[in-house]
Amino acid sequence: MSAEAAAEDHDDHHHELPFWRKYIYSTDHKVIGIQYGVTALLFLAFGFFLMMVMRWSIAYPEEPLPGWMSWVFSEEWKARWLQDGRLTGETYNMFGAMHGTIMVFLGIVPLGFAAFGNFVTPLQIGTVDMAFPKLNMVSYWCYGVGGLLMLGSFFMESGAAKSGWTNYSPLANFADGQIINQFLAGQTQWLLGMVFLITSSLLGAINFLTTIINLRAKGMTWMRLPFFVWAILVTGFLLLLAFPPLEVAALMQLMDRTVGSSFFVPTGLYTKTAGVIEASGGGSPLLYQHLFWFLGHPEVYVLLIPAIACVAEVIPVNTRKPLWGYKPMVWSILCVGFLSFVVWAHHMYLTGMGPVISTWFQTTTVMISVPSVILLTSLIISLWGGSIRFNVPMLWAVAFLPMFGIGGITGLPLAFNLVDLHLHDTYYVIGHFHYVVAPGVLFGFFAGIYHWFPKITGRHFDTFLGHLHFWPSLIFMNLLFFPMLVQGMAGFHRRWYNGGDAYLAKAEDSVNVFGNTVAEWIYLNPLMSWAAWLLALSQVPFVINLVFSIRWGKKIKNDNPWDATTLEWATPTPPPHGNFTFDVGAYRGPYEYSRDDHEGDFFPQWEEPRKDKPAEEPVKEPVK
């Protein structure tokens, strides 16, 4: 239904909404998408800062934090959490746990699924808004509350959560247990924050799925959907079905902490401060792990798939040819979605589950690499024979391919429980998943941001600043994460807070094999830390670009500056409330570039077929 046709409905859309209704409590999917995007980017920056502090202690153990890093903290905070200015193990763990939590749940998921999904999906399927606009707004505010809880926990006497982003029991049960009122304990607030974040994601997933299923424009059949929409669909199902068990785990751990239940407390547990715990026992830490990873694994696909979605949109536009293997890609992403539910215990190979169960998960994990590889390969082949425009979005999208490739390939050894015996909980794992998420997923998102910025604001990003953002980021990402793979194979543990200095072989002629190996590779620590700090600096051109280009960027010449074919480019810029100013429909596939039977370089999805031409044949082969 178009904006004009609906103009006679609903009085409250006739006159201008007040500022707070327009920008704060908006129910418009575009505003909500931007809200999610800005908030998520801020959280990403905060999570990055936490890691920067951690990397100081890894590179320069026993040395106080430098002034340029510690100025943000108050003197009281530093007195409580640092020891003579040095990062303590407890503080390192707190930063580590919150770095993971914030990056995953407050950064990447909201940016990928909620921000991009919200802004782009209704536009790409040709509808006016999400199916449930008010629910959309509630989702954002649940995210806001959850995020505030997480941030606020840093200011508690107990500090924020500190038991890893995975929050395993029994440690996570008892950390911050000395706080009498548990609702003022960081660990408990983490759990409460998670409940809000999970609620936000669940409500968002319901909204997205209903919108995609029921609100597609006329002619927008399933196989004419842009790949982005398929990806958001699968991500929505992953969130919908995988998050509830984590909510159960969070609820159970909350109950263990507040009412003294023993869901995850085994019998006879002993701690130094309390002796034998006075609890009923009979519980199982393993139960927590199963519940956590049942979400945890689909969660990493939730991180990845929206990035693949962005890249899959940027590549056809900038190669001027259709996506190669659209149908296999659709089937692959559906398979990845389904299989992601049956691989979770490859995170639990070292829990003593036994070879039979480990073999099952090993098999499914290796199987899931097949559709993943199909996706990556299709994207790579999509470049073949293309008339490639290496604008900044395309740079990010093309860089995504080898970066995600490295991330994916390094995951394969981890799939085998035998190899995982050596690599579990080492820096190899950190290197693997950061390759996928940092130079992988984030590069995909930057591709999306640079690609859709003109549609959101009506202006272009500055190209020079874009290059200044891209090239250093690419270099420093690799300098930061590649050595982790090496250190991991040498056995460096993932949660060492002093970079491994405690494990160095002391004597010159020591026969401590491990100590000697650590000594061989520990020199990489300062290199990686500097890469991290310079990587932070490399993001500054992006911030400048964002602020500058919104006001003074080069204005776009028309509503479709990239000459793209998908429906979001058929709206005015920026798209108004109601999105389309005409009765929009989809008349062909989403990537009709360089068609033999069409004069123009591209044939947009929304352009009505000309009456005098013969009926269009769907193009089967990619155009040479």
Q: Of residues 149-208, which lie at the interface with another protein (CB under 8 A)? A: 157, 178, 180-181, 202, 205-207
Query: In sequence order, what are the residues at sequence separation of 6 or more whose Cβ sits closer than 8 angstroms to the Cβ of residue 315?
Result: 323, 379, 382, 383, 394, 397, 398
- Near another protein by CB under 8 A, which window of 81-89, 160-168, 468-476, 482-490? 81-89
- In the window 281-300, what residues touch another protein (CB under 8 A)? 281-284, 286-287, 290-291, 294
Q: For another protein, which stretch binds (CB under 8 A), given 262-270, 388-396, 456-464, 557-565? A: 262-270
* 602 φ, ψ (degrees, to nearest 5): -150, 155
In the set 42, 213, 350, 547, which binds another protein (CB under 8 A)? 213
Q: Please give the Cα distance from 477 to 136 (Å, whole number).
A: 34
Give yes or no for a contact between 320 and 618, defined as CB atoms under 8 angstroms apart: no
Shortest Å, Cβ 248 to another protein: 4
Cis peptide bond N-terminal to 244, omega within 30:
no
280 binds another protein (CB under 8 A): yes
The nearer residue to another protein, 284 or 369, going by C-beta atoms, is: 284
Residue from 156, 255, 381, 505 binding another protein (CB under 8 A) = 255
Q: Which of 16, 84, 508, 612: binder of another protein (CB under 8 A)? A: 84
Q: Which stretch binds another protein (CB under 8 A): 93-101, 238-246, 324-332, 363-371?
A: 238-246
The sign of the torsion formed by the CA atoms of 24, 26, 28, 33 equals: positive
Site for another protein in 41-70 (CB under 8 A): 59-64
Q: Which is nearer to another protein, 157 or 601 (CB)?
A: 157
Shortest Cβ 17–another protein spacing (Å)? 12
Is 558 a binding residue for another protein by CB under 8 A? The answer is no
Nearest to 269 by CA among 184, 373, 337, 171: 171
Q: Among all chains, which residue has been given the structure tokens 């909201």?
A: 110
Contact 265, 281 (CB under 8 A): yes
SS3 sequence of 504-519: CCCCCCCCCHHHHHHH
Q: Among residue numbers 463 through 502, which ones bind another protein (CB under 8 A)? A: 498-499, 501
Q: Are 591 and 316 in contact, with CB atoms under 8 Å apart?
A: yes
Region 569-598 residues binding another protein, contact defined as CB under 8 A: 577-578
Q: How far is the CB of 344 from another protein (least distance, A)?
A: 13
Nearer to another protein, 128 or 150 (CB): 128
By C-alpha distance, which of 169, 458, 166 is closest to 299?
Answer: 166
Cβ 409 to another protein, closest distance in Å? 32
In terms of Cα–Cα distance, which of 438, 414, 421 is closest to 362? 414
Reduce the DSSP state of residue 159 to 3 states and report it.
Answer: coil
DSSP H or E run through 37: helix 29-59
Stretch that binds another protein, among 8-16, 330-338, 356-364, 405-413 (CB under 8 A): 8-16
Site for another protein in 509-528 (CB under 8 A): 522-523, 526
Q: Is 567 in the site for another protein (CB under 8 A)?
A: no
